[in-house]
Amino acid sequence: MIIRGSLPEVPDRVYILGGGKFGSSAAVKVDRQWPGSHIHLVDTMSSLPSGIPGEHHTGTDAINFLQEHLEKGRPNDLVIPCIPVHMAFNWVLGHFGFCIPVPVRLMEFLPGAIAGKDRCIYTSLSDFLCPDSCAEPEGFCPTTEKKRKEPLFKIIERISLSSYRVIIVRSEQLLPGVGAVTSKQLFRLLAETRKKIGRSLIATASRCHGVVHGFIH
């Protein structure tokens, strides 16, 4: 199943996880597009450059911050993950369950599959470094100009493993080079994962890039 989100026309509260190159760039882009948005930039570093827009939450673990501040009653709040971990999966793991290895045979069915250090699989339709300003158009790659029949999140959805349930969080394109998920998506992910005791594959994917983790509870 795919958990989709409907991004608000004007974001009110935006949580950007990670204050490095990509997180700082996302903060600038969001502030430029929607000056009235409340940006919260979360990073484990002790300080961030003062010129980066938003309220800075330094020396803070991003996933712990989400667990403390994300509100179910604010479904349109946005989360922009710019940290080197699978945010949606770790959001679930912070509430319940355990991480298990993704079946190695899955790599045969996912394009550009690479095994991650934390027993996950990274997958991508691109075999090159995408530009930071990619607008993720439907049906073709703007860099190669080649057609793409199916987005990656649909490819992952077609995974059929009898002992696993597949749940995918669709990362939506907020701005060129900036993907986001809503608070509603994350709370729905929690609810869907709790419905069935056993093994699951939890993925986050855009049209072109994704990551898959194994989960059990």
Residues 10-59: tens digit of each pLDDT:
999 999 999 999 999 999 999 999 999 999 999 999 999 889 999 999 99
This prediction has a pTM of: 0.95
In this predicted structure, the answer to whether residue 95 has a pLDDT above a threshold of 90 is yes
Distance between CA atoms of 183 and 111, rounded to whole angstroms? 29
Residue from 70, 67, 60 nearest 15 by CA:
70
Q: What is the pLDDT of residue 141?
A: 87
The chain-wide mean pLDDT, for the chain, equals 94
- At 50-86, the pLDDT tens digits run 899 999 999 999 999 999 999 999 999 999 999 999 9
The total number of structural domains that make up the chain: 1
In this predicted structure, the answer to whether residue 139 has a pLDDT above a threshold of 90 is no
Q: What is the pLDDT of residue 166?
A: 96
Domain that holds residue 75: 2-216
User: What tokens appear for 102 in the block?
Assistant: 């993704």
Place of tokens 């989400």: 66
Tell me the backbone φ, ψ of residue 96, rounded to 5 degrees.
Answer: -170, 170
User: What tokens appear for 126 in the block?
Assistant: 């691109």
